[in-house]
Amino acid sequence: MKLWAGRFNKDINPLVLDYTQTIDIDKRLIEFDIWGSITHVLMLCNQNIISQEHGRKILQCLVKIFEDHRQGKIQLERELEDVHLNLENRVISQLGMDIGGRMHAARSRNDQVVTDTRLYLRISLLNIQQELLKFVEILIDLAETNVETVIPGYTHSQPAQPISLAYWLTAYASMFNRDIKRLDKAFENTNLNPLGACALAGTSFPIEREITTNLLGFDGLLLHGLDATSSRDFIIESLAALAIIMSNLSKMAEEIVLWNSFEFRLVEVDDTFATGSSIMPQKKNPVVAELARAKTGRVYGALMQILTIVKGVTTGYSCDLQEDKPFLWQAIDDTSLTISVMCQQLQTLKFNTQRALSMSWENFSTATELANYLVVEINMPFREAHQIVGTVVNQLIKFGKTLSDVTDISQSLEELGMNISPEVLRELLNPIQAISRQTSKGGTAPESVQEILETLNRDIIHQKDSLAGRYKKIQQAFDKTFEITNQFISGIDIHIAISGVES
């Protein structure tokens, strides 16, 4: 039965049905749609918009549908277009039009769909935060035991200065920590109630929007009905946050691919995170990292897609807006899967620390230390020291030497009128020592990294608390909805069952 068929003379063209139906996408909304409908009906009863007798029957039916859904027994029918019409149809076919047909007063699919989407997205944002938190904790754990492990640090992909492995790891922990905070903002703008906006203009029924707001665990309501039904900026903001997460993951993936190459050999991905070649027997390819890079493009695509959709849609719902969900779902899946697979890959990644140390001796990356020494010990202007060390490096390169050839360096400096013994130079140019000197706030020295770790740890504790609070609030709202519904169904007056929920 088509619930909107009254003004039509002909049935829909099958191709148009194919083109417009959203059944596969809407599957993820079933339980949120039922939860939303239950709170709506409770509100309608409380406001005497429908009778308590009718309300009880409808709620009984909705609770049964919910249980059936949890047992995997609900199949949505394509012919009924979307999740909303499917579920309303089910209620009407079970209770008859006289009762079931009363559920949709003071509501539209326009406020309904965006309510469902917000309910689904908010929990997805929390789940992604949880996965990121796990990742940050693992990065911190690995960092804590590697504050003195040397790896080459790069700028322009050229050896720059040695850093500790902990420093590299905490760089990502810092990025993901910010990503978690960014998701907080997206959550705040998502967790607002559009229900009660109706089609676009509100309603003449005496609805009470605070009831559905509280029973659905929203932090507040979207006051403006036309805005509430038209706007998708909460999706844009969420997808922007996901796109940024992916860009950070992709950066790490790129480093893993590069460092895992034979030429770098700084890391080795575990066998369990690689695949082989069908023709070249020697190959072990870092495909997880490669795919993480590529999937980033899909999430960017989702962001571009929603931005492009909304720019042409006038205020008030247009069907363009139903295309907001397919790519959002995809982006949620891609991001959470990429976070967990990259996290597990990192836990099994082998760092070739021996080679990292010898590369740091040979790649001239402690040259800045020598320049700084000349500034401090000889009171030379930095620009002049830079010039001199540059000349020394140039000579060393010419003779196939490195900064580990301290006798040669000592001689070159002597020719330039400076007396620095090979012993002092060995100490000065040692990458481990070099790292230990970068004690400025946010530097790579162990004590600076310690401070970074402490700050990260504090943030993590705070984030975990806030996340647990949000999960709990949602769960409590859900439990409360069903508790009130059961009391009401069992005969308690709606005003007693629901008391306290409005405030």
Footprint of ligand ARG (CB under 6 A) = 22, 82, 109-110, 113, 317, 319, 321-322
Cβ distance to ligand ARG smaller for residue 83 or 357: 83
Cβ distance to ligand ARG smaller for residue 49 or 321: 321
**E-state strands within 253-398:** 267-268, 350-351
State the nearest-atom distance from the C-beta of 306 to ligand ARG, in Å.
13
Asked about 277 being catalytic, the answer comes back as: yes
Cβ distance to ligand ARG smaller for residue 22 or 430: 22
Closest residue by Cα to residue 231 from 257, 256, 194, 274 = 194
State the nearest-atom distance from the C-beta of 308 to ligand ARG, in Å.
16
Element (H, E) at 132: helix 109-144
Phi first, then psi, for residue 160 (nearest 5°) are: -120, -70
Question: Is residue 132 within 8 Å of 339, Cβ to Cβ?
Answer: yes
State the nearest-atom distance from the C-beta of 39 to ligand ARG, in Å.
18
Alpha-carbon distance of 421 to 409, in angstroms, equals 9
State the nearest-atom distance from the C-beta of 311 to ligand ARG, in Å.
17
- Backbone CA torsion sign across 398, 404, 408, 409: positive
Cβ distance to ligand ARG smaller for residue 21 or 161: 21
In the DSSP assignment, the letter for residue 271 is: G
Phi first, then psi, for residue 108 (nearest 5°) are: -140, 160
Alpha-carbon distance of 343 to 338, in angstroms, equals 8
Could you write out the three-class secondary structure of 442-455? CCCCHHHHHHHHHH
Asked about 224 being catalytic, the answer comes back as: no
The vertex-174 CA angle with 173 and 180, nearest 5°, equals 85
Cβ distance to ligand ARG smaller for residue 34 or 59: 34
State the nearest-atom distance from the C-beta of 117 to ligand ARG, in Å.
8
Q: Residue of minimal CB distance from ligand ARG? A: 322
Phi first, then psi, for residue 196 (nearest 5°) are: 105, -10
State the nearest-atom distance from the C-beta of 73 to ligand ARG, in Å.
22
In the set 156, 157, 490, 503, the catalytic residue is 156
Cβ distance to ligand ARG smaller for residue 33 or 405: 33
* Other beta carbons within 10 Å of 158: 10
Alpha-carbon distance of 378 to 424, in angstroms, equals 14
In the set 93, 277, 318, 421, the catalytic residue is 277
Q: Which residues are catalytic?
A: 156, 277
